[in-house]
């Protein structure tokens, strides 16, 4: 085997890269994420809530590009949290084969336990917990969508990929402040920004340390997309013509003079 392609956790990816180093194998890694979702004060709040709901709850939150941290500029913050919470509480939780349900089960009960640990840690460190009681969950592998409002960088929800319908939301004041907060992670897969100002968009695109940036949209995937991240979110890209290059080697030919026929 001359190359290794892996999609999974950063922890396992690190181990595979170590093993591949012994034989200098080419590695393509699509690993974990900690996607920030940034809402600026110049956007339509309902459109931002729609985008955040979709970005957070795709695959019940079990998605490497799911919004993992939501940052909202102060003038919109309280209204955003209220509207998001109202929409979130209306989501149907249950069997994924029932099309009336929006939130399905987590992969196993350990994932439910981790989600609860993240919420418990946030609560213990001062976050406002908003959501339906976990006693309403339809089974042991379900976690009721829950907001950890006013989260801080000291909480586990700021650092760890939840892979669950856990929603940390906090406030920011300046663009530089939220860029620094968004980049304060070992991960760099996906990020999202909602703003209508061209100069602000260019500022975020230049400075966000993520392989993919969605501007006023959460639709980042598709066969045409060079899917992948930076930092400890992986190496290389999947999809598009760039993804094919992960499986090719450049070979150079140099000819001197050739004998005449």
Residue 196 has pLDDT above 80, yes or no: yes
Q: Say how far apart CA 107 and CA 93 lie, in whole Å.
A: 15
- Over residues 43-55, the pLDDT tens digits come to 999 999 999 999 9
The predicted structure's pLDDT at residue 261: 73
Question: What average pLDDT does the chain have?
Answer: 95
The strand order across the sheet containing 35-39 reads: 128-131, 146-149, 166-172, 67-73, 35-39, 190-194, 212-215
CA-to-CA separations, 222 to 28, 108, 227, 229, 238, in angstroms, rounded: 18, 28, 9, 15, 10
The predicted structure's pLDDT at residue 260: 81
The predicted structure's pLDDT at residue 258: 87
Give the active site residue among 30, 160, 161, 238. 30
**pLDDT average, residue stretch 232-239:** 94
254 a catalytic residue: no
The predicted structure's pLDDT at residue 230: 97
- Over residues 121-140, the pLDDT tens digits come to 999 999 999 999 999 999 99
Residue 34 has pLDDT above 80, yes or no: yes
Confidence of residue 2 (pLDDT cuts 50, 70, 90): confident
Give the active site residue among 11, 26, 64, 109. 64
The predicted structure's pLDDT at residue 12: 97
Confidence of residue 159 (pLDDT cuts 50, 70, 90): very high
**pLDDT average, residue stretch 69-84:** 98
Residue with tokens 């979709």: 54
Confidence of residue 112 (pLDDT cuts 50, 70, 90): very high
The predicted structure's pLDDT at residue 147: 98
Q: Which residues make Cβ contacts (< 8 Å) with residue 96, sequence separation at least 6?
A: 60, 104, 105
Cα angle: 211, vertex 114, 84; to 5 degrees: 65
β-pair type (128-131, 146-149): antiparallel
Confidence of residue 85 (pLDDT cuts 50, 70, 90): very high
The predicted structure's pLDDT at residue 38: 98
The predicted structure's pLDDT at residue 229: 96
Q: Can you list the domains of the chain with their CATH numbers?
A: 1-31+227-250 (no CATH), 33-219 (3.40.309.10)
* pTM greater than 0.85 (yes/no): yes
Going by C-alpha positions, the residue among 172, 40, 140, 145 that lies closest to residue 89 is: 145
64 a catalytic residue: yes
**pLDDT average, residue stretch 54-74:** 96
Burial class (CB in 10 A: 0-12, 13-18, 19+), 248: exposed
Q: Phi, psi at residue 4, to the nearest 5°? A: -135, 125
Would you give the distance in Å from CA 137 to the centre of its chain?
24
């Amino acid at each position: 085997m001359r190359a290794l392609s892996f999609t999974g956790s950063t922890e396992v990816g690190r181990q595979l890269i170590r093993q591949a180093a012994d034989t200098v194998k080419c590695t393509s890694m699509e690993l974990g994420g900690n996607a920030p979702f940034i809402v600026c004060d110049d956007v339509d709040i309902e459109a931002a809530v729609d985008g955040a709901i979709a970005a957070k709850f795709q695959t019940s939150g079990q998605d490497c590009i799911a919004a993992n941290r939501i940052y909202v500029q102060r003038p919109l913050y309280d209204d955003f949290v209220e509207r998001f919470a109202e929409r979130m509480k209306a989501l149907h939780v249950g069997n994924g084969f029932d099309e009336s349900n929006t939130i399905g089960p987590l992969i196993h009960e350990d994932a439910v336990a981790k989600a609860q640990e993240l919420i418990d840690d946030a609560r213990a460190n001062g976050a406002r917990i908003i959501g339906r009681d976990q006693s309403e969950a339809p089974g042991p592998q379900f976690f009721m969508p829950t907001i950890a409002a006013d989260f801080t960088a000291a909480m586990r929800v700021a650092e760890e990929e939840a892979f669950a319908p856990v929603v940390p939301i906090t406030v920011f004041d300046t663009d530089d402040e939220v860029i620094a907060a968004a980049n304060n992670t070992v991960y760099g897969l996906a990020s999202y920004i909602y703003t209508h100002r061209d100069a602000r968009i260019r500022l975020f695109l230049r400075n966000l340390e993520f392989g993919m940036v969605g501007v006023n949209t959460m639709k980042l995937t598709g066969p045409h997309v060079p899917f992948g991240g930076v930092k400890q979110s992986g190496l290389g890209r999947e999809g598009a013509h760039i993804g094919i290059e992960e499986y090719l080697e450049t070979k150079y030919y140099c000819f001197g003079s050739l004998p005449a026929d």
